[in-house]
Amino acid sequence: MSHSSDSGPFLLDQAFQILNALPHPVIVVDAAGRFRFANSDAEQFFSAGSAYLARKRLQDFVPGDSPMFSLVEQARTESARISEYRVDVSSPRLGGERLVDLYVSAMPEAPELVVVMIQQRSIAEKMDRQLTHRSAARTVTGLAAMLAHEIRNPLSGIKGAAQLLAASASDEDRALTRLIQEESDRIVKLVDRMEVFSDQRPIERSAVNIHSVLEHVKTLGRNGFARDIKILELYDPSLPPVFANRDQLVQVFLNLLKNAAEAVKGRENPEIRLTTAFRPGVRLSVPGTKDRVTLPLEFAVEDNGDGVPEDIREHIFDPFVTTKPSGSGLGLALVAKIVGDHGGVIECESQPGHTVFRILMPAWRELSEPDALRDATDEQG
């Protein structure tokens, strides 16, 4: 891509090296909207190489009614620097919904050129949502502990009394005592599910092959609730192990697969897609350690169902939020808790005909000898 404009050379190679080193997409566009420069992050953002972008214009990727164009024009005409937050640049070409912060600046040496730095909001918002989910889970933790103590014991007494009454009751009354027992059992099961939230024990984690987990979950689904549903697999075979508890991962993906199977029920061509990929991640503190880890492993469960209603989409991982008439609203809350306890992030993107639950998690890394010695010392201390 050209490093100069019609007004002559003005940017040195060192300047472009600096732009390439920035951890955000940076582009330079001229008055016609043509790309004059794109750093490596911009190539990833637009899913195109710089040679290809050099033959295209910004409007080939971003919808013409996007505020991005008015910001670029304002910066050019006023020779100013402008910042705008939460700008919608969504388009099918960019892969769906994109909400970004824009930092736009004119170039004094070449008035027809404008530099645009794009900061994607997704990671920051994932973090905000994850903190919200964890806070909600802590609320359920306290509620679960209270329910376990205040409800389970009285329910046992109620069920026992109903069993005694059933021995001498008429057929009509026996139906009522049976109803009392069944409802008592149902409430106990609900309390048991909630009690999982109060489990604060450290997670036993190891190197887990995610594809083995997904294969196990897929086998369970195909032999039961997803028997008549097409399940596709798009795996990265070179993916390193995930640092996790295998049983809890099975619980997470079994829940997500069940939800997807229910979402596509009744569709003409029901389809679920399981994907794994290696992605650049963010750094997060892992509960129970002093370390900060990256989250380069991405796992997703996609379906072509009706989608999550917009009014509950932002709260889909909160406890007691459900789209099912008979659902408890604890399944996805538990999924979010498990992922959060592993130091991971989960998000949901949904529209009619396509819903994806995406999880970012840390990769397994073997401890070096100093790390192992330090951890052993910490445990003894």
Asked if residue 348 lies in contact with residue 308, where contact means CB atoms within 8 angstroms, the answer is yes
Count of positions (residues) in the chain: 381
- pLDDT value at residue 201: 65
Q: Which amino acid is at 63?
A: P
| Whole-Å CA distances, 141 to 24, 206, 252, 327 | 39, 26, 18, 19
How would DSSP label each residue in 102-139?
EEEEE-TTSTT-EEEEEEE-HHHHHHHHHHHHHHHHHH
Q: Over the stretch 54-83, which tens digit does the pLDDT of each residue have?
A: 899 998 998 888 888 988 998 888 888 888
Q: Which tokens is 69 given?
A: 């164009």
* 168: enclosing H helix or E strand: helix 152-168
Q: Side-chain half-sphere of 354: how many Cα atoms within 13 Å? A: 6
Cβ density class 282-306: b for 16+ within 10 Å, e for less? bebebeeeeeebebbbbbbbbbbbb
Q: Which tokens is 152 given?
A: 């389970």
- pLDDT value at residue 374: 42
CB atoms within 10 A of CB 350: 19
Enumerate residue ranges in the chain where pLDDT < 50: 2-12, 281, 285-287, 367-381
- pLDDT value at residue 138: 52
Q: Return d(Cα 113, Cα 32) in angstroms, integer.
A: 10
Burial of 42 (0-12, 13-18, 19+ CB in 10 A): buried
Cβ contacts of 316 within 8 Å, gap of 6 or more: 308, 332, 348
User: Which 8-state DSSP code applies to residue 91?
Assistant: B
pTM: 0.51
Task: Specify the 3-state DSSP secondary structure of 60.
Answer: helix
Cβ contacts of 297 within 8 Å, gap of 6 or more: 210, 239, 240, 242, 276, 278, 279, 281, 360, 361, 362, 363
Cβ contacts of 162 within 8 Å, gap of 6 or more: 177, 178, 180, 181, 184
- pLDDT value at residue 233: 94
Candidates 273, 275, 251; CA nearest to 260 is 273
Q: Over the stretch 35-61, which tens digit does the pLDDT of each residue have?
A: 988 888 888 888 888 888 989 999 899
Helix axes 246-263, 210-222, angle to 10 degrees: 40
- In 182-241, the DSSP E strands lie at 206-208, 230-234
| Whole-Å CA distances, 37 to 34, 94, 171 | 9, 18, 83
Strand partners, 244: 206
Q: Which tokens is 207 given?
A: 């190197």
User: Which 8-state DSSP code applies to residue 364?
Assistant: P
| Whole-Å CA distances, 80 to 64, 150, 220 | 22, 64, 59
The values of phi and psi at residue 119, to 5°, are -115, 115
* 361: enclosing H helix or E strand: strand 354-361
CB atoms within 10 A of CB 113: 22
- pLDDT value at residue 358: 92
CATH numbers and ranges of domains, the chain: 4-120 (3.30.450.20), 124-198 (1.10.287), 206-369 (3.30.565.10)
